[in-house]
Structure 1
Amino acid sequence: MTLNIPLSAESSAVFEAACDIAQRAGQVLDSTHLLLAMYTIPCHAQAVLLEKSVQMELLLARLKDAPNENESTIDLIMSYAALHASNISAPQVSSLHLLMAITKTTSSKAVNLLTRAGISTFDLRNRAMAHSTDPRLKRAASERLAAHQQTISQQIPRKPYRRLAPRPQPIIQTKHQPDDETPIVFEALEEDLGPPPKELTEHQQKQTDQQPTKSLEQCETGESDFDLDPNLFPTLTELGRNLTAEAQQGLIDPMIGRDLELDTVVDILCKRRSNNPLLLGDPGVGKTALVEGLAARIANGEARGLDNRIILSISVGDLVAGTEMRGSFAARMRSLKDEVLQTNGRVILFLDEIHTLIGTGQGDGGMDAANDLKGALARGELPCIGATTFSEYKRYILTDPALKRRFEPVTLPEPSLEEAELILTGVAPRYAAHHGISYTDDAIKTVVRLTDRVIPGRSLPAKAIDTLDLAGSRVRREGRAEVTSDDIVAVLASTTRLPASFLSLSPTDHLRQLKDNLAATIFGKSDSIDAILRVLARNWARFGTRQPLGSFLFNGPTGSGKTTFAQALAEFFFGTEKALLEIDLADYTESHSLSDLIGSPPGYEGHEDGGLLGSTIIRQPFLVIVWRNISMGHPSVQALVSQILADGSITDRLGRNIDFRNTLQIVTITQTSEDASRPLGFGAVAQNQDSEGPIEPTDPAFTKIKKMVNPDLISSLDLFLNFKRPSTEVLKAIIQKITDKLANDFASEHGVSLYLDPQLIDLCASEIAPTTGEAVEQWVAGSISRPATDLVLAKSLQSCAIYLKSDGRSVVAEPYFPKAT
């Protein structure tokens, strides 16, 4: 099979310069002349060489010692270049293809020269490949070349070269296999190609019409081969944003991944009828980026079947704007269809939020926009790419079967963490160039994983890119040059109002601090604290999952510290004691009570308000949720709790996805006084029946829990903990902590100091009956705080304090005048 591939304008100029260099040196043309010519002609290959720090002086210093190459090597290089262009469906051989071919030909003199200069030909070839597939890299190359062009031109004297764009394109005719011994015919090997002819051959004219050559100078001036004539297409040029032209000028970010979805879109667009793909996906998954990626493929000649097509993005708002007069909207729609039809299928419309077409223009006296376009969409006269979300598709398009048949759905799922990292690695250089900074690899990894966890209401990669952009803006404002993972954490901490320690990829510091805070607040439960921290450390590394951060069951009598433990977790894990939601399932014993949690069904009162879970989680996604008395809840409510623990998300009656991945779930079972004092098992001792801390599957308490709780819920829990009422020593420590806080409050609010009799705490601990279940805080408030408060209100205490002691029956408060020291 013979390849007929023309040289681009810059490749022709490079080859002409190589011939001139060889002629001036009195040598036979070889690969080194071709490599050195790339420094004399402003081309994309020169940009790659400069980017990889391949200096011409370095090569010239080693040129004398380089061994000669076979005379057929130059033909082999041209054959490789044609093959590279063919493999990526490029219409012409560019200077990048020549550079890749040189580095691939290991027997060439140029490769020997590069190797002895310490240059990796593998890295050079990979970078050239990246430039050949990324239009933004090409545009950045054009900008860099402007700064180097004058210096490079002075290093090798040469005559000025004519622009070759208007000339007939040289054709490379070669076999598919470079190793074939058939002679290679290359029609541009003359030392001087002579003046350009006035007319092109039929084959050359066809090549030019199908894929116009865009020189480096055109890229710098912003000209495009995909611009529409505003005189012939006034409506399209006025309303549309030409994505293909922008892609050719390097104004669109490169698209990474989504090859399967993109190929599907291309296949649908190439259909004869109903050639209209509809992109479906959550906000932020990259629907618009996919269309821009398609435009870039077309601009680069890499979309077979869509050669020379133009993608125009039109918003429905622009369609409606300025159509106040009756009939003006219908006239605009007719003009739009006529102009697209005039292009003979060359123009493809992109309508984002396409569901907004339904009902648009209905008050104009005719059909709405959606019905007006149905005929043209079905006949293939109006190639169109639509984009919308799943909810809008279900609400607007599925209810119109005729409109639904006009489109072929293409689903875009949220990318995985690894795919999102790859996407951000590809777009990060653009944002780095914009802010004048750089991003570390750890920063990209951190932003993907943390945004996936702490911004559940949005999708990757959009939320990660926005955070990366914001971090770059902040680092530039602070006068620094590099964005690190710490900068990502700082930005997310300020936007989510979470502690920076909570956002660390490594939980070590945060969990160590959490352990210290819990130990200073919760007394007598060190085993439970250690067990919970082990679960949190294990679950912390589950990036990409939707399950809660931790799911625990607390089993114990009233007054054993279950609620206090949950409050401490909210305060020290999420940074605020307000991050706590308590739901007593004793209030949800009926089947209809499920509506209080997820909202009423459609048609019932309160449907628009949603439920408790949806309104709370959307407002505060970082919560400790306590499901009290789980065994008392209706089976449907228990099933809902099981789903939250297992899947980490539910859908409420408004169709909203409620995400619980950033919550701690605590299920509690309250033992009665009889359960707490009765031995379990034959011959068991009451005070040793259940130990404090983790419950093992072999423990009697676990057998009792299985009889009270839904089996699905049990299988979803991470840890089971048993709580016992505090001992006398633990009670003393708790009372001391509470009275210290009470003394501080009195001093700040009333300006009065409190002094407690040393024996009062021992007396209080002995009077709090361990079987009553009365909270220690309530006892202290009634027995100690109230007498002190009554004394403050009854007397004007100045320059004195309050002394609290016991008279044998109750706590007595009396004025106290401390001795001066």
Structure 2
Amino acid sequence: MKEVYMNNYTEELKRILKSSELIAESLNSSNINSIHFIMSMLSNYNSLSKILEKYKIKLEEIKSYLPKEQSNKYLFYSKELLSSIESVILSLENIDDEITLNLLFNEILSNKDTLCYKALIKTNIDIESLKKSILTTNTISSNSILKTIGRNLNKLALNNEFDPVIGREKEITRVIEVLKRKNKNNPLLLGEAGVGKTSVVEELARRITKNQVPNFLKGKTIYEVNLSSVIAGTKYRGEFEEKLTKLINEFEKNDNLILFIDEIHTLVGAGGAEGAIDASNILKPALARGKLSLIGATTLKEYTNSIEKDKALDRRFEPLLINETNYEETLYILKKIKPNYEKYHNVKIPNNIIELTAKLSNKYIKNKHNPDKSIDILDEISAVTSLMEKKTTNYKIKNKISVLTEKKNKCILENNLTKALTLKKEITTLENKLKENTNKNKKNIVTKTILKEVLETKTNSNIFELSNPDYFIDLNKYLKQNIFDQDHIIDNITNKLISFTKSTSNLPLTISLNGPVKTGKTYLVNTLSNYLKTHLITLNMKDYITSTSITKLIGSSAGYVGYNEKNTPFESLKHHPVSIILLEDYNYTHPTIKALFNTITSTGKLTLNNNETINFENTIIIKTTKESNKSKIGFIEKQTNKNILSFNPLSKNTIKKIITKQNKNLTNEQIEKIIEKSNYLEENAKNINNLINENLVNFNEVTQNL
């Protein structure tokens, strides 16, 4: 096959010519001619697709004019097609100028000897009108600003660089509908990070390349422009404005281009140095003229804070809300994209792993959004599995080959050729075995253990253990070994935890502990946190006795020092979703703060002063109090007594168990002496540690004197 490609052919033209070769080969043609070329244009997405459709040029009709020739062993380009290519090359003003699809097709139509020209004449196509339409269709020149700062989404879609977009049919249809409008035809995609705003645009680009869009979108190209790329390199005043104006002009003069700006809120204020206008004010006139087709994407918060405030800019857009996918939708998406990740990582992902990934990421990862967070987990567990070669037979074989090779080289240096030959045979045998194993292409399987490791690393919690009933049986035993004679409380807490982990509710688990001072309330919480390996947030409610102290929990109000600073005690819940929150001495809490915690326990969420929402779905909130009036203990004043767990005062026997646990070397006489001094009837275990240490010091002094 004769090679006709040159360095200055555009990617689009190369693709069409390559497709022409494949069409000619599939039809057993003797050569590649201009009819194969136009058939390729009709079969594949290109910048002239819309024009060919406008003139109602049909593939089957054109195909019927192919000459009936004997096929050759080797395919060559026909003289008439080569002549057109050579004519285009000779017509270039500069040798470095690009040869575009428009130029070559126009040349083919200008040559009355080409098979394509003759076929179109027979189908009653107005050739001159067609040529005029082709020449007036703008293409991206080699020195275009889009070549340096733009990202051609259509080209990336053609190269299959995007994951398929599942379950966003309604959103994609809405984008197309808005683009079709006469006025306000600029869609603005709004949604939280990770819900798939950019993916909707990427899917639109993919459909354009497949001609699966309405006629007005056929032949269009979507370019993504990052505003930071426009700002980059602009050192002096006016350079940014000039660069952005040049970019806007590029889109205005070419109606086949659609501009996509992700994080479009960055327009407001961008490049706005003192005495200069910002990017949004440069863009407004172009949007007002209606010659610029623009798709934007940003979050709801950024839209409210920037674009919505600028009414002149806001009214040029049509906001479209992209919602987060629910569990069922996320699971469907993961199942559809699973083959892509299996192929890329060369692994096998069982369906039960897919279901667990969707379920657990939805439950425990609260600072991100679906489907992005679940896809991230799927990608990571696949990557971890693909890197597990060291655990396979191949890794052991490679190690053995390396050791034997070292020994063989040593034998050669020592002139022990017989031994070296034996080692060489062993190495050859192992290499053949390794090659055989590689040819089998056995895929590693993603396991629950790998998913466990990845999720627990991301959430800083042992979430898999919390779903194991046996884990709580061991917890019950562990607590009873460390907290004495409070079995009724330990049993109650264990049962609550089991119910909590099985619950589908999005509310936190709340526990109220009441009892005299130093009976083990705080110690129980610390012991529980250590066993569960969960993050512990401790709040001393004596610090929240005034209404103004609420700012410590929800942040300062707008306009005050500290606003937007992320220094509230609940910020850590974003990275430790499974946490225990201990509220000590809750009876001192101001009613305003109590109302705040009532909101948390009844909704599972807390909105901070900066409008950020903290999720408490997987938290355990434990309140301790010395309040004797049980009606004032619970989060809600009308809480019944059965929800309050009361600690027993410590008996002499309990005190003895505590002392023995802390120091097993003490004699009975020493223990009795400590108990006598402890005043446990009034102060429980308050003085135990000090008395044990004091007794040991006295004992050491006596020993030294002896």
Query: TM-score, normalized by length of structure 2?
Result: 0.70
Q: Does 1:503 align with 2:411?
A: no
CA–CA distance in 1 between the matches of 2:519 and 2:27?
Answer: 89
Structure 1 residues 447 and 163: alpha-carbon distance in aligned structure 2, compared to 1, 3 A threshold: farther
Count of aligned positions: 553
Q: Does 1:466 align with 2:376?
A: yes
Q: Give the Å deviation of 1:444.
A: 2.0
Q: Which amino acid aligns with 1:498?
A: S
Q: Give 3-state SS (helix, strand or coil) of 1:671's partner.
A: coil
The CA deviation string for residues 61-100 of structure 1, in whole angstroms up to 9 with x for no partner, is xxxxxxxxxxxxxxxxxxxxxxxxxxxxxx989xxxxxxx
CA–CA distance in 2 between the matches of 1:506 and 1:647?
Answer: 23
The CA deviation string for residues 93-118 of structure 1, in whole angstroms up to 9 with x for no partner, is 9xxxxxxxxxxxxxxxxxxxxxxxxx
Structure having the higher helix fraction is 2
Q: Identify the match of residue 307 of structure 1 among 209, 218, 222.
A: 218
Q: Give 3-state SS (helix, strand or coil) of 2:323's partner.
A: coil
Q: Give 3-state SS (helix, strand or coil) of 2:581's partner.
A: strand
- The residue number in structure 2 matching 1:431 is 341
- The residue number in structure 1 matching 2:156 is 246
Q: Give 3-state SS (helix, strand or coil) of 1:415's partner.
A: coil
Q: Give 3-state SS (helix, strand or coil) of 1:367's partner.
A: coil
Q: Give 3-state SS (helix, strand or coil) of 2:229's partner.
A: helix
- The residue number in structure 1 matching 2:51 is none
Structure 1 residues 569 and 284: alpha-carbon distance in aligned structure 2, compared to 1, 3 A threshold: same
- The residue number in structure 2 matching 1:561 is 520
Q: Give 3-state SS (helix, strand or coil) of 1:557's partner.
A: coil
- The residue number in structure 1 matching 2:658 is 734
Q: Which amino acid aligns with 2:507?
A: Q
- The residue number in structure 1 matching 2:355 is 445
Q: Give the Å deviation of 1:512.
A: 3.3
Q: Identify the match of residue 268 of structure 1 among 178, 200, 218.
A: 178
- The residue number in structure 2 matching 1:333 is 244
- The residue number in structure 1 matching 2:693 is 785
Q: Give 3-state SS (helix, strand or coil) of 1:625's partner.
A: strand
Q: Give the Å deviation of 1:779.
A: 2.5
Q: Give the Å deviation of 1:350.
A: 0.9
The CA deviation string for residues 152-183 of structure 1, in whole angstroms up to 9 with x for no partner, is xxxxxx9979899999xxxxxxxxxxxxxxxx
1:554–1:720: 8 Å Cα contact kept in structure 2?
yes
Q: Give the Å deviation of 1:525.
A: 2.9
The CA deviation string for residues 545-584 of structure 1, in whole angstroms up to 9 with x for no partner, is 6432x21111222233221211111111125xxx322323
Q: Give the Å deviation of 1:314.
A: 0.5
Tell me, which stretches of 5 or more residues in structure 1 are unaligned?
1-7, 18-90, 94-157, 168-194, 211-226, 676-703, 741-754, 795-812
Structure 1 residues 202 and 657: alpha-carbon distance in aligned structure 2, compared to 1, 3 A threshold: farther
CA–CA distance in 2 between the matches of 1:377 and 1:647?
Answer: 43
- The residue number in structure 2 matching 1:255 is 165
Q: Give 3-state SS (helix, strand or coil) of 1:363's partner.
A: coil
2:188–2:318: 8 Å Cα contact kept in structure 1?
yes
Q: Which deviates more from structure 2 when the two are superposed, residues 408-417 or residues 8-17?
A: 8-17
- The residue number in structure 2 matching 1:581 is 537
CA–CA distance in 2 between the matches of 1:541 and 1:11?
Answer: 59
Q: Does 1:725 align with 2:649?
A: yes
Tell me, which stretches of 5 or more residues in structure 2 are unaligned?
1-18, 29-57, 61-70, 82-114, 131-136, 393-443
Q: Does 1:361 align with 2:289?
A: no
Q: Which deviates more from structure 2 when the two are superposed, residues 722-731 or residues 307-316?
A: 722-731
Q: Which amino acid aligns with 1:711?
A: I
The CA deviation string for residues 359-385 of structure 1, in whole angstroms up to 9 with x for no partner, is 222238642111111122233311111
CA–CA distance in 1 between the matches of 2:527 and 2:704?
Answer: 35
CA–CA distance in 1 between the matches of 2:149 and 2:605?
Answer: 41
2:555–2:562: 8 Å Cα contact kept in structure 1?
yes
Correspondence list, 1:221-620, <5 A = 229-231=139-141, 234-304=144-214, 305-344=216-255, 346-363=256-273, 366-479=276-389, 481-499=444-462, 502-504=463-465, 506-542=467-503, 546-548=506-508, 550-575=509-534, 579-618=535-574, 620=576
The CA deviation string for residues 777-807 of structure 1, in whole angstroms up to 9 with x for no partner, is x423222212323555x5xxxxxxxxxxxxx
4+ residue runs over 6 A deviation: 8-17, 158-167, 201-206
2:512–2:634: 8 Å Cα contact kept in structure 1?
no
Give the fraction of aligned pairs with identical amino acids, expressed as a percent.
30
2:472–2:494: 8 Å Cα contact kept in structure 1?
yes
Q: Give the Å deviation of 1:246.
A: 1.6
Structure 1 residues 328 and 255: alpha-carbon distance in aligned structure 2, compared to 1, 3 A threshold: same
Structure 1 residues 605 and 367: alpha-carbon distance in aligned structure 2, compared to 1, 3 A threshold: closer
CA–CA distance in 1 between the matches of 2:597 and 2:351?
Answer: 39
CA–CA distance in 2 between the matches of 1:205 and 1:790?
Answer: 113
Q: Which amino acid aligns with 1:654?
A: N
CA–CA distance in 1 between the matches of 2:338 and 2:580?
Answer: 36
Structure 1 residues 10 and 662: alpha-carbon distance in aligned structure 2, compared to 1, 3 A threshold: farther
2:634–2:644: 8 Å Cα contact kept in structure 1?
no
Q: Which amino acid aligns with 1:490?
A: E
CA–CA distance in 2 between the matches of 1:383 and 1:718?
Answer: 64
CA–CA distance in 2 between the matches of 1:350 and 1:432?
Answer: 31
Correspondence list, 1:702-781, <5 A = 704-705=630-631, 709=634, 711=636, 714=639, 719-740=643-664, 755-761=665-671, 764-765=674-675, 768-774=678-684, 776=685, 778-781=686-689
CA–CA distance in 2 between the matches of 1:625 and 1:352?
Answer: 38
Q: Give the Å deviation of 1:640.
A: 0.8
Structure 1 residues 235 and 638: alpha-carbon distance in aligned structure 2, compared to 1, 3 A threshold: same
Q: Give the Å deviation of 1:267.
A: 1.3
Query: TM-score, normalized by length of structure 1?
Result: 0.61
Correspondence list, 1:16-415, <5 A = 198-200=118-120, 229-231=139-141, 234-304=144-214, 305-344=216-255, 346-363=256-273, 366-415=276-325
1:357–1:368: 8 Å Cα contact kept in structure 2?
yes
The CA deviation string for residues 261-303 of structure 1, in whole angstroms up to 9 with x for no partner, is 2222121111112211111222222111121112122222222
Q: Give the Å deviation of 1:14.
A: 11
Structure 1 residues 472 and 319: alpha-carbon distance in aligned structure 2, compared to 1, 3 A threshold: same
CA–CA distance in 2 between the matches of 1:721 and 1:241?
Answer: 62
Structure 1 residues 790 and 263: alpha-carbon distance in aligned structure 2, compared to 1, 3 A threshold: farther
1:359–1:368: 8 Å Cα contact kept in structure 2?
yes
Q: Give the Å deviation of 1:197.
A: 7.5
CA–CA distance in 1 between the matches of 2:125 and 2:472?
Answer: 70
Q: Give the Å deviation of 1:308.
A: 2.4
CA–CA distance in 2 between the matches of 1:317 and 1:205?
Answer: 47
Alpha-carbon RMSD across the aligned residues, in angstroms, is 3.8
